[in-house]
Structure 1
Amino acid sequence: MGDDAVLAGLCVIEVASDVAGWSAGLHLCEAGAEVLSIDPSRYRSPRVSEAQFEVLGRGKRRLALDLDTQRGRVQLQELLASADVLIHDLPPRAAHRAGLSDEVLAAAFPALIVSAIGAWPQSHSWADMPVRETLVLAALGVLDEQPGHRPGPIYIRMPFANWIAGWLSAIAVMARLLARARDGGRGGRAHTSLAQAALVPMTMHWSRAARPTPVFAKGLDKSTPIPLHRCADGRWIHVHYSPDKAPWMAEALAAMGPEAVVAANAKFPPSHVAPNFGANRAIIATRNADDWARHFWEHDVAAQVAVSFGEIYADEQAQLNGYVVERGERRQPGAPYHLERGPGPAQAQAGTDRAGQSPLSGLKVLDLGAYLAGPFACMLLADLGAEVVKVEPPAGDAMRRLERIFAGTQRGKRGLALKLGDPASAAALESLVKWADVVHHNIRMPAARKLGIAPEQLAALHPGVICGHISSYGPRGPRADWPGFDQLMQAACGWEVENGGAGQPPMWLRFGVGDHLAALACVFAVLLALYQRERTGEGQAVASSLLGAMLMTASEVVALPDGSLTPMAQLDAGQHGLGMGDRLYVCADGWLMVAAWTAAELAAFEIVTGATPDVFFSPRPVSEALALLRAAGVPCEPARENQREAFLDDPRHAVLRTRYAHAVYGELEQVGALWDFGDLPLNLGLPPPALGQHSRVLLREHGFTEAAIERLAEQGITVT
């Protein structure tokens, strides 16, 4: 790590016991920060293998301190005196006992940035719940949102909330660093939580409108068939969107005939991605998985075989992009983003005192993306205070057809309908690019170049601009320009197999996790580039990808020199959990999640439930089992079901929601704050824009007269 690394000279103290805190520290470490990881002698998640512990600790120094002793607490305070950042995952009461409450730290170290990753926000009534992902997911009702091979809540094998929380924490730290430079060196909170992280993908599903359209009201429920198809060799392939035009599929559909196709389709609920879902399924079963994959790839059909965990380490595309690296002869995940130095200095910006304003107040962002990952990244920047303009075609972003999902990626933006690529829109695009500090999109590069929005084209218009791009497979290698989607990266990285459970068909985690992780990684890279630009004046191109972001989560195993893999805990066939103390149990009137991680907790669990826990749980109501276990000190939570409306109504969750007046839907309620910066507010007051809602005012701001705007509308270049 050289002295020119972006975060060189930054000192970070990390006090963590799970993936969220460790990964937040790793992201900062790999950007150049010096990270000291404190082992607080508490516990470790049962899902964290020794291999993963080493991966998440790479590049850091380690020190064991017992924070239950006065000596350990004093030593930590001495270390904090020279630190810039503290990351910890202690609940508020535990943080207070360790001398790490916000009040104590702010008084002792006013320049220190503190990122606490709790189970729930500190203002939530459940803030002191144990910081264990499965308990949070159960209490929120998210386990019930995942389809499975059986009814009821499903144990989600991938610890997605921990991974998302790690990125949220790292982003919060970067936003606070930028604000600290602006605000005279004052530090402060940069908090998030597992609950807020778990709600990131629920922005797709948990919202409510006073005047919903039929499409918004329908949403995308968990019974929608997922195009994961069994092939002739017993392996499974995930196909996104209709494969009907691929020659093998077209020929087979024609051979079946219309009546047989209709009959095959009738065996399944309608699919929004594949109108011939049932017929596709029958046809795919006639050939081997690798043969189908090659054929689909040759004909621009997005598809991936659902492979076993760890196979991704041999993937050429992953290796060429540095998403797989060798450390001590072991293959493991690398950083999921790229930074490239830019061509020239930024335009001079007028200095403005913005103390007490949002962390990114004054930042200007041009969002040219579509679907989910690109727009969600820009929504995060808007939440942090950036002024964001969303540009979409006059026909609308392709994701608008899934209205609830679209709305979950668009708040905080003003919307401009503009037909990019048409000569008549060139002047507007040039003005917008010159206005922006950041231009961001997730359009495939061949199409981006045709539209004039590839990084080199943007830099030619504005040398100091930060260009952010999210691709499917990474910016290098033979698949750099291929289509890809979240589901396919879950398949490629082994998560669909693991989420299915031992011996069961693979299962897609339906929350769009790959899209959200890629968006978070790109936002982190954008903030690194902005931090660098403050020092050098240079613009940069930064990039992340669905593959890179998802591959980072595969760190539960690493590849050994002989090609074998380190072990990992596997989900049982019933999708209940990983062991007796980390498992869902069915009671007489519902489900209960147990997270007994320590030896003492597991011993207490065995005393209460006896040798056959199912016999203990099955006749008892959830409330009785919960009371008995909690009295014995066993961490557990009811696994709530059907919680969308309950989440939006429950006053305890008010801190996790937001609402505003929407141009079409009337009052719109959505997932709200993903961070807590204390004295620095978030920007959550602007609803998602209707198509072309702000076109006229934005074009006026960029020099167009009313007559010129009318001509653009008449030509189909804009919608007003």
Structure 2
Amino acid sequence: MTATPLPLAGLRILAVEQYGAGPFGSLHLADLGAEVIKIEDPSVGGDVGRGIPPFARDADSLFFQSLNRNKRSIALDLTNPAGREVFEELVRRSDAVFSNLRGDVPAKIRITYDDLKHLNPRVVCCSLSGFGMHGPRRDQPGYDYVLQGLAGWMTMTGDPEGPPTKSGLSLVDFSGGMAAALALLAGVHGARTTGTGMDCDVSLYDTAMSMLNYLAAWHLNAGYEPRRTPQSAHPSLVPFQNFRTADGWIVIACPKEKFWHRLLHVLGEPSWAGDPRFASFETRHEHAADLVPLIEKELSRHGTDTWVRLLEAEGVPCARVNTVAEALTEEHTLARELIVTAEHPEWGEVRQVLTAARAGTARATHTRAPRLGEDTDDVLAGLCGYDMTKRQELGSAGAFGAATAADADVAATATKE
């Protein structure tokens, strides 16, 4: 029986990417079956993510593995004429060039649509940068921490009595990567429809600002000023926050009146529904300082697991506040098959979390992230049709970062295992 192809099979992407945001975006595409060919600069040791501590050795790391499974790697110096020759041949045979470089760099290294359309009129050139390809900050580097501060996120995160706080996850990087993946797919769809490719200009700054969404609308139209709330409380719905129990923490959410009444039933306090202070969303928000301590007093009578069991039985949205270790072993995590494995020659079985996008039949197996330049020989021979003599000539010319003929032989075989 022929296996069902993955939904993005047949999509080829050249990824001039490094670190987190770009690789996270292309990881979604690779998991869904796209052929993602990482173009890594050999002069700097390839993707900087290869050396990210604490779990790093021999130009590889668990950070790099988590973001680059199911991809291929070629070592290629784009500043070298011979390296550029190889790159242009690959562009002719690819659907997209995806990069996450500073906003002014794609034009400088000539990987925009205007630079490449003579090679492939249908190619999509997707840039994910810190601040975009135009604007006063275009030539500034952009990092998740910086963007969370600049876009106002930190003023809304953390305890009201503490300092502005970053999210525990790199949410701007991850969200920017997904936005770029979406833009790239939209561009490829358009190119296949019209026969003409395009530039996609995605930035982490735009991503962070766009995610202000309804809070921005509240401010722009009604002057609302978002503020940090105690115990991660919802800015307008009460009760909707973390609560302390006898032995830990629980999240309880009542975004509908029916959940409020069910909560009162579980707490054994149905009379609160008749209290005018708590009769509606508006009055509960106004009198949150009165209501929250009452709820906390009741919750202190039992531990978190007991309350979760009672609340779930009544259909009240709730969850225990897990540690990362607990989240990774949650029954639902396992049922959704969110932990995947890839075999690594040194580390054995590397376990990772699957990307969230699902379409059609899931990938049956996953391959580890590649070594630097591991697929150079296969790509050049199989995709470009270069014979060994041609590959050695390119290597001698420095296409793969090799300065000598001897080094060129090593580069041509690309450290294949």
TM-score bucket of the superposed structures, by smaller chain: 0.7 to 0.9
SS at match of 1:655: coil
| Structure 1 residue 644 displacement after superposition | 6.3
Q: 1:694 to 1:648 in 2, by over 3 A?
A: farther
- Identity %, equivalent residues: 27
| Structure 1 residue 545 displacement after superposition | 0.6
| Structure 1 residue 499 displacement after superposition | 0.9
Counterpart AA for 1:529: G
CA distances 1:202-258 after superposition (whole Å, capped 9, x unpaired): xxxxxxxxxxxxxxxxxxxxxxxxxxxxxxxxxxxxxxxxxxxxxxxxxxxxxxxxx
Q: TM-score, normalising length from structure 2?
A: 0.78
Structure 2 gaps, min length 5: 53-60, 270-290
| Structure 1 residue 708 displacement after superposition | 3.7
Q: 1:471 to 1:570 in 2, by over 3 A?
A: same
Partner of 1:456: 114
- The answer on 1:613 being equivalent to 2:295 is yes
Distance, in Å, in 2 between the alignment partners of 1:651 and 1:682 is 17
Partner of 2:352: 670
Out of 234, 238, 245, the residue aligned to residue 587 of structure 1 is 245
Partner of 1:357: 5
Q: Looking at secondary structure, tell me which structure has more helix per residue.
A: 2
Out of 364, 378, 382, the residue aligned to residue 26 of structure 2 is 378
Partner of 2:310: 628
| Structure 1 residue 415 displacement after superposition | 0.9
Distance, in Å, in 1 between the alignment partners of 2:104 and 2:66 is 28
Q: Is the 8 A contact 1:433 1:439 kept in 2?
A: yes
Partner of 2:275: none
- The answer on 1:367 being equivalent to 2:15 is yes
Distance, in Å, in 2 between the alignment partners of 1:709 and 1:645 is 49
Out of 43, 48, 52, the residue aligned to residue 398 of structure 1 is 48
- The answer on 1:485 being equivalent to 2:143 is yes
Q: Is the 8 A contact 2:12 2:95 kept in 1?
A: yes
- The answer on 1:435 being equivalent to 2:116 is no
Q: 1:599 to 1:503 in 2, by over 3 A?
A: same
CA distances 1:61-114 after superposition (whole Å, capped 9, x unpaired): xxxxxxxxxxxxxxxxxxxxxxxxxxxxxxxxxxxxxxxxxxxxxxxxxxxxxx
| Structure 1 residue 568 displacement after superposition | 6.7
For residues 85-484 of structure 1, what are the structure 2 equivalents within 5 Å?
Answer: 356-394=4-42, 395-402=45-52, 403-484=61-142
Partner of 1:572: 229
CA distances 1:430-475 after superposition (whole Å, capped 9, x unpaired): 2211121111101225443443423322223322211111111122
Partner of 1:690: 371
Q: Is the 8 A contact 1:417 1:695 kept in 2?
A: yes
Counterpart AA for 2:48: A
Distance, in Å, in 2 between the alignment partners of 1:359 and 1:437 is 15
Q: Is the 8 A contact 1:661 1:668 kept in 2?
A: yes
| Structure 1 residue 371 displacement after superposition | 1.6
Partner of 1:257: none
SS at match of 2:212: helix
Counterpart AA for 1:483: P
Distance, in Å, in 1 between the alignment partners of 2:112 and 2:122 is 15
Q: 1:538 to 1:633 in 2, by over 3 A?
A: closer
Partner of 2:286: none
Counterpart AA for 1:389: I
For residues 635-650 of structure 1, what are the structure 2 equivalents within 5 Å?
Answer: 635-643=317-325, 646-647=328-329
Distance, in Å, in 2 between the alignment partners of 1:483 and 1:507 is 21
Distance, in Å, in 2 between the alignment partners of 1:361 and 1:658 is 20
Q: 1:382 to 1:631 in 2, by over 3 A?
A: closer
Counterpart AA for 2:325: Q
Q: Is the 8 A contact 2:106 2:112 kept in 1?
A: yes
Q: 1:623 to 1:645 in 2, by over 3 A?
A: closer
Partner of 1:548: 206
| Structure 1 residue 481 displacement after superposition | 2.0
Q: Is the 8 A contact 1:500 1:507 kept in 2?
A: yes
Q: 1:515 to 1:597 in 2, by over 3 A?
A: same
| Structure 1 residue 684 displacement after superposition | 5.3
| Structure 1 residue 558 displacement after superposition | 3.9
Distance, in Å, in 2 between the alignment partners of 1:559 and 1:650 is 35
Distance, in Å, in 1 between the alignment partners of 2:249 and 2:185 is 42
Distance, in Å, in 1 between the alignment partners of 2:158 and 2:333 is 35
Distance, in Å, in 2 between the alignment partners of 1:709 and 1:460 is 23
- The answer on 1:516 being equivalent to 2:174 is yes
Q: Is the 8 A contact 2:103 2:131 kept in 1?
A: no
Q: Is the 8 A contact 2:106 2:127 kept in 1?
A: no
SS at match of 2:250: strand
Distance, in Å, in 2 between the alignment partners of 1:685 and 1:632 is 40
Structure 1 moving runs of 4+ over 6 Å: 648-651
SS at match of 2:201: strand
Q: Is the 8 A contact 1:658 1:673 kept in 2?
A: no
Q: Is the 8 A contact 1:657 1:673 kept in 2?
A: no
Q: Is the 8 A contact 1:656 1:671 kept in 2?
A: yes
SS at match of 1:589: coil
SS at match of 1:460: coil
Moved more, 530-539 or 621-630: 621-630
Number of corresponding residues:
365
Q: Is the 8 A contact 1:375 1:441 kept in 2?
A: no
Structure 1 gaps, min length 5: 1-353
SS at match of 2:116: helix
Moved more, 540-549 or 441-450: 441-450
SS at match of 1:380: helix
Distance, in Å, in 2 between the alignment partners of 1:530 and 1:675 is 18
Q: Is the 8 A contact 2:247 2:304 kept in 1?
A: yes
RMSD: 2.9
